[in-house]
Structure 1
């Protein structure tokens, strides 16, 4: 005797819904995230000096941000020549991961000055950071977290609409001198990286190196944390009365710069360069085109009529 099939159980696993890619939209491409990270870097350059001044007890330092470059964890590891500290930082309630890397020599110089010295760096460098350097590094991480929280909150909401809880949603999770031990994310994950140089006030003319730190973001972290890039849409309505390709704007000369390589290098390595040395460089996949320091487009390097050319992939 055959019975009727049992009613469906509420505990039975349901098949996940599949949504149309046209409805969800494609994730941002790397050349769309480059300008978003550039704008985040500009905000960091404005927000970071104040909390860093509280760490050092002096005047706000000068903060300079390099252009975004694509890389992997393996590439970061291969660039490190001396002792460095890597810090895994997470953003927001979703704990989106990013990596901060601090070079040892400038950090030791700050530690020596904090204890009344003239900024001496031990030679040779020790194999590990002493407790004094760890404590200073923890305070610098706090300053960086404060600036990142403000920059990210400002990127997501208009000024004045962020709460104190949202501004404190960036924190350091753990740190290690070994990237392999830290294991922040998959080794071959695509990353975008910016280098931050922090110069103490009045140090522009001396030979001391700036405090250099690098921030590396997985593409998934940037796509989640930063506003979605604006897509070009067809607009209805009247055109502007004076388009940019008409006079008086058409004849204005504008200097356009395509930045192929932006390579940070320590003063020590720079002083050891000799004719015949080979410097390995990585050309960014999305080459930024800048006007007056602002990225207006990105493209890929190629060749046209036996001349180097840049094919635009994204314009803003």
Structure 2
């Protein structure tokens, strides 16, 4: 005999089938496929980052000289690794009150945002007018008139230096769009868009370190990605010439020992062993004697005197037919 205690009625089967249909409708795998535009996801601009970081290193060196007149001493400035972040994420980490300067860098699209800590501005003002700059940071909600003036000078000098560094990639012309003290009003890009954050840490002689952030919209960097990529492989750019000039300047200060050989007489071993004070060794001085540096002849000259001192007048540079 068959046990029907576990059998389902027709109504129960219908209810289960209805519930199963509702679950399949909610399953995303059973939903109608939607069109997706490949490449719409924002990607890390790999070609831009190495160039930005190299420009950041140059910017850090220039910031030392830029800040020195305000700080009365040359601070230590380091460039952090450039980070790609959502704008809302960066903005959420900032204090309620700070200096925000929005500039356009034509023809670069999207502008650039310069963010400076207010405590750093206050310390610079204190030092500039004879203070120590070591006072504890306050809780100010706005800049004083003096701080505003110094901040304007500082940001204008900073963006001018930034334009000078960007000239390695392409000439840009900075123009101030607005100054704000609240990140809610700093409309560089939409919250969900990505920005490249170039951060500089400034360690003064006194007081705690401060930071200056320079933000670029990733979309504007992608528009010049070809120039950024090409610049990384260009050995003839401004940075390369500047490096060569600095290297040449450093090498020009290196001192080398130079000597001249008047004669090379030949002596036998027996004659050498019999030498004693008063002996005379005959020599013949050639018309031109060599000038040796590190054992290598670099010039030929004539022996003479100048102001009562023996001297060598250069007649010929080795490897050249030029006579002096």
1:192 deviation in Å? 1.0
With structure 2 as the length reference, what TM-score do the two structures score? 0.52
1:153 deviation in Å? 0.4
Q: Give aligned pairs, total.
A: 189
Match of 1:149 in 2: 163
Q: How does 1:119-268 map to 2 (within 5 A)?
A: 119-121=133-135, 124-156=138-170, 166=171, 169-200=173-204, 203=205, 206=206, 208-225=207-224, 227-230=227-230
Between 42-51 and 140-149, report the one with greater CA deviation.
Answer: 42-51
Match of 1:31 in 2: 46
Is the Cα–Cα contact under 8 Å of residues 196 and 213 in structure 1 kept in the other structure? yes
1:225 deviation in Å? 5.0
Instruction: Flag the 1:76–1:124 CA change in 2: closer, same or farther, 3 A.
Output: same
Is the Cα–Cα contact under 8 Å of residues 106 and 174 in structure 2 kept in the other structure? yes
* Other structure's SS at 1:172 match: strand
CA RMSD after TM alignment: 2.7
**Could you report, residue by residue, the CA deviation over 1:25-74 in whole angstroms, capped at 9, with x for unpaired residues?**
xx9852222212111111212233333334x1734433210001111221
Is the Cα–Cα contact under 8 Å of residues 71 and 127 in structure 2 kept in the other structure? no
Is the Cα–Cα contact under 8 Å of residues 169 and 228 in structure 2 kept in the other structure? no
Write the distance in 1 (CA, Å) between the matches of 2:77 and 2:43: 28
Match of 2:59 in 1: 44
Is the Cα–Cα contact under 8 Å of residues 82 and 104 in structure 1 kept in the other structure? no
Instruction: Flag the 1:225–1:153 CA change in 2: closer, same or farther, 3 A.
Output: farther
Bigger relative contact order, structure 1 or 2 (CA pairs below 8 A, ≥6 apart): 1
Instruction: Flag the 1:61–1:151 CA change in 2: closer, same or farther, 3 A.
Output: same
Write the distance in 2 (CA, Å) between the matches of 1:99 and 1:114: 25
**Could you report, residue by residue, the CA deviation over 1:143-194 in whole angstroms, capped at 9, with x for unpaired residues?**
21121111110234xxxxxxxxx46x12332111112223222222111102
Is the Cα–Cα contact under 8 Å of residues 100 and 180 in structure 2 kept in the other structure? yes
Structure 1 runs not aligned, ≥5 long: 1-26, 157-165, 232-316
Is the Cα–Cα contact under 8 Å of residues 82 and 196 in structure 2 kept in the other structure? yes
Is the Cα–Cα contact under 8 Å of residues 47 and 150 in structure 1 kept in the other structure? no
Write the distance in 2 (CA, Å) between the matches of 1:63 and 1:89: 23
Write the distance in 2 (CA, Å) between the matches of 1:198 and 1:124: 19
**Could you report, residue by residue, the CA deviation over 1:104-130 in whole angstroms, capped at 9, with x for unpaired residues?**
222211111222222154664111111
Write the distance in 2 (CA, Å) between the matches of 1:95 and 1:135: 28
Structure 2 runs not aligned, ≥5 long: 1-41, 232-324
Write the distance in 2 (CA, Å) between the matches of 1:123 and 1:210: 12
Among 93, 99, 104, the residue aligned to 1:85 = 99
Is the Cα–Cα contact under 8 Å of residues 74 and 188 in structure 1 kept in the other structure? yes
* Other structure's SS at 1:187 match: coil
Runs of 4+ aligned structure 1 residues displaced above 6 Å come to none
